[in-house]
Amino acid sequence: MKRISIDPITRLEGHGKIEIFLDDAGEVANAYLQIPELRGFEKFCEGRLVEDLPQITERICGVCPEAHHMASVKAVDDVFHVDPPPTAKKLRELLYSAFYVFDHATHFYILSGPDFVMGPESDPAIRNVLGVIAKVPKVGLEVIKAREMGHEIVEIVGGRKIHPCGALPGGMSHGLNEEQRQHIEGMARSLLEFAKLTIKVFDDVVLANKAYVDLILNDSYVHRTYYMGLVDGNNKVNFYDGKVRVVDPEGKEFVKYAPREYLEHIAEHVEPWTYLKFPYLKKVGWKGLIDGRESGVYRATPLSRLNAADGMATPLAQAEYERMYSTLGGKPVHATLATHWARVIELLYAAERLLDLSLDPEITGPNYRIIPTATPDEGVGIVEAPRGTLTHHYVTDEYGVVKKANLIVGTTNNNAAISMSIKRAAQGLIRGGKEISEGLLNKIEMAFRAYDPCFGCATHSLSGQMPLEVKIYDSQGRVLRMLKRP
């Protein structure tokens, strides 16, 4: 048995590695995504004050702390049975929309963009964000500016650029004055232009190139699964609030549940070879790492959110939504690489929503907080993190000291699907006797890069590629070949 190790791939809550086993004929026998890290938040949150959890749990991820901050504070609102005033909810969603714009932009341009702008089999030395900047310099600067503006909005509303502190049960710690609102409005207008530019870049670079469209639709990147996403009262995509809707592989609604009902619908499976659990749909059941209607494996990604919803709540994003489905042959789309298209549509939605909220007369309102008065007990908060539905569930004593905490984190939702996608891409691309080139390995990486797994975020930050090492072993464990990148 030959073996290919991709180690480290880095960052989920940190690190990751991929092991691909070849059989004697050189065909892929199996592939494993291993997450070699655990930190134990579910345990050490016990004994903490529940109102501190929005600032403690965001230390799960410094790439998307805003998502944990929001899911956590919504859970704490629920623990205290408090409904924050409209201004507070709008401030939170404003912060969250700004976060989505720069987070999705980072992934599209810096992480996965190089694969398309430079080409999936281009020289790895230039297949990175610096290559992208050299090829389209104006866009590169726009990305840096968008990141800076997004972070600035997070700091104004949330108090800090990284690990915000502003959300607490009952609302936000401070409001917005008119001067700040105008400043944010100005940045929101720029970010909306940036989002439109991004759609155009996707058109020009990806959709205009038939080879890329063929790659997106290539069978090696297709899985028929259930799809999950948060929707508003009109079944439109929402990142901050609503109910979780799941559609089946035919696109029909399977279930729609409120945060407090999540345990009726989601369960997690444990495997001994990875520290990360495998969530699945409880009512379908765990059938292993397989797709299809009979398997409880679901996906929670930008594409999943679009598949699970009936549309987008803003006009420009809605038009793009319709264009994507008409181009790719209707709903649901099962092509994993179409996630990139869905991501730029979500980026456009987030920018439109950000501008709407910055123009909302209530956003500068004085009632950004109410003091909770009920006895704390138990609560669940759900938001859509960029990398999947994020669930926080706390149980406290009557003083609001945490007794139990349960967390189902964005990327974790996709643990099974990412493993399956790697195996399928490897099986489709690695063929007995065929040389295993760097470009081919990159195409395997593209299968999981589409999920924007959190273990990719930081790793990819500038280089746009995994620190990748491939060793091929013979059945006695001797290294036959070693491939290094670049």
Q: Is 3 in the site for other proteins (CB under 8 A)?
A: yes
Helix/strand/coil for 119: coil
Shortest distance in whole angstroms from residue 171 CB to other proteins: 9
Pseudo-torsion of CA 402, 408, 410, 412, nearest 10°? 140
**Can you spell out the DSSP letters for 365-382?**
-S--B----SPP-EEEEE
Q: Does 18 bind other proteins (CB under 8 A)?
A: no
Tokens read off for 11: 């960052």
When binding is defined by CB under 8 A, the residue of 432, 467, 479, 481 that contacts other proteins is 467
For residue 476, give both structure tokens. Answer: 């006695």
Asked if residue 40 binds other proteins (CB under 8 A), the reply is: yes
Is residue 183 within the footprint of other proteins (CB under 8 A)? Answer: no
Tokens of 26: 């050189």
Rule CB under 8 A: say whether 442 interacts with other proteins.
no
C-alpha separations of 136 from 133, 141, 366, 457 in Å: 5, 9, 44, 22
User: CB-wise, 39 or 200, nearer to other proteins?
Assistant: 39
User: Which residue, 208 or 263, is less far from other proteins as judged by CB?
Assistant: 263
Contact 57, 43 (CB under 8 A): no
Q: How far apart are CA 99 and CA 386, in angstroms?
A: 9
Task: State the Cα–Cα distance between residues 125 and 118, nearest whole angstrom.
Answer: 11
Of 24, 25, 39, 315, which lies in the binding site for other proteins, with binding defined by CB under 8 A?
39
Q: Which stretch binds other proteins (CB under 8 A): 303-311, 354-362, 365-373, 418-426?
A: 365-373
Of residues 72, 112, 220, 274, which one binds other proteins by CB under 8 A?
274
Question: Is 267 an interacting residue with respect to other proteins (CB under 8 A)?
Answer: yes
| 378 part of the interface to other proteins, by CB under 8 A | no
Interface with other proteins, residue 453, by CB under 8 A: no
Q: Minimum CB separation from other proteins for residue 26, in Å?
A: 14
Is residue 393 at the binding interface for other proteins, with CB under 8 A as the rule? yes
Contacts of 340 (CB under 8 A, 6+ apart): 108, 112, 116, 202, 206, 216, 450
Q: Which of residues 145-164 bind other proteins (CB under 8 A)?
A: 148, 151, 155, 158-163
Q: Tokens 């790719």 appear where?
A: 328
Chain residues 84-113 in contact with other proteins, contact rule CB under 8 A: none
Residue 406 found at the interface with other proteins (CB under 8 A): yes
Distance CA(52)–CA(59), nearest Å, equals: 12
Q: Give, as ranges, the residues between 289 and 318 that touch other proteins (CB under 8 A).
A: none
